[in-house]
Amino acid sequence: MSFLNELEEVLKLRKEKLPDNSYTARLFREGDDRILKKIVEEAGEVVIAAKNTDRQEIVHEAADLLFHLIMILVQKGLTLQDIEDELKKRHS
């Protein structure tokens, strides 16, 4: 299992259990709009980091973006496998 799959499983648990002291659980409780707002925010930060060609900042912001993308997948009952399958279809 890759780390991204492990992260996906952690996010699923956070959504299920909604622990009080969890940033992720808070976003799940706040719902789609809050998660989607974070995705837009992080995407903008990736763009700015890339424009500035700051390698470490690109990595940092891309990680934040990917984290929140996985969150919305979990929120919507989708998986990383669903995305991988779609990319494979497009590649064929």
Distance of alpha carbon 15 from alpha carbon 59, whole angstroms: 26
Average pLDDT over residues 59-80: 98
To which CATH superfamily is domain 3-80 assigned?
A: MazG-like (1.10.287.1080)
Distance of alpha carbon 64 from alpha carbon 79, whole angstroms: 18
Which pLDDT value is given to residue 81?
Answer: 97
92: confidence class by pLDDT, cuts 50, 70, 90: confident
1: confidence class by pLDDT, cuts 50, 70, 90: low
Write the pLDDT tens digit of every residue in 3-53.
999 999 999 999 999 999 999 999 999 999 999 999 999 999 999 999 999
Nearest to 67 by CA among 30, 28, 29: 28
